[in-house]
Amino acid sequence: MFLRISKIAIFLMQIWCYYFYCCHGCLEEERTHLLQIKDSINYPHGSSLDKDWVGKNCCKWSRIRCNPSSFRVTSINLKLLREERLGIWHPNASLFAPFKELEALTLKENQIGGWVVPQAFSKMQSLRHINLDHNNLSTSIDSLRDLCELKNLRSLYLRNNNLDGRAFSLCLSNLSMLEKLLLWGNNLGFYSGAPTGIK
């Protein structure tokens, strides 16, 4: 009898959890940080996401993907959202740190010139794919070194950032899991310090 009651209790708890998360969306902490990221992109002018990122279920928002079991955010795509007239953007990297299951982050074509709190990247060990193509990272070589703390990174896109070899000499050799590295459109000269075996 006790075992049957326990099973019923567990079943009811599962239903409650499913209802809570599915009706209210992703975790509130992650939803809050997504809204903070959105507000920072073109601050204080708002962004095109103002119409898309509404409601409590951020797993249904455009450019966002979630784990269907844990309801945690696994992919954030913020490609081409920074308004050109606003100039260089320095995102606060700590806003991305709370996403414990984030695997893919796309910040392509956003005029990024570096990071606020770049050391926050070291906490994002679930990241597998980062796309930073077509930004302005040449002004912040040291910030790239924090990306190289991501030991599980599989792909890193850094095309057209006007970078030179100094950005990588003490960095990319740490990324032993890296499989794909895109660097064309930079000023790498004779740099040859990339990990072996990458595409």
pLDDT digits 0-9 by tens, 155-168: 999 999 988 766 56
Lowest mean pLDDT among 75-89, 101-115, 136-150: 136-150
Give the number of domains in the chain.
1
pTM of the model: 0.83
Residue 45, pLDDT score: 85
Alpha carbon distance 20, 2 (integer Å): 27
Residues 6+ apart with CB under 8 A from 118: 93, 142, 143, 146
Q: Is residue 164 part of a domain?
A: yes
Please indicate, yes or no, if residue 14 is contained in any of the structural domains: no
What mean pLDDT is reported for the chain? 84
Q: Which residue range(s) make up the domain with 161?
A: 27-182
What confidence category does residue 47 fall into, taking pLDDT thresholds of 50, 70 and 90?
confident
Q: Are 128 and 154 in contact (CB under 8 A)?
A: yes
Cα separation, 178 vs 104, whole angstroms: 14
Which two structure tokens, joined as six digits, stand for 95?
Answer: 């806003």
Residue 80 lies in a domain: yes
Joined tokens for residue 198: 């990458």
Domain-embedded: residue 3: no
CATH number at residue 149: 3.80.10.10
- Per-residue model confidence (pLDDT) at position 147: 86
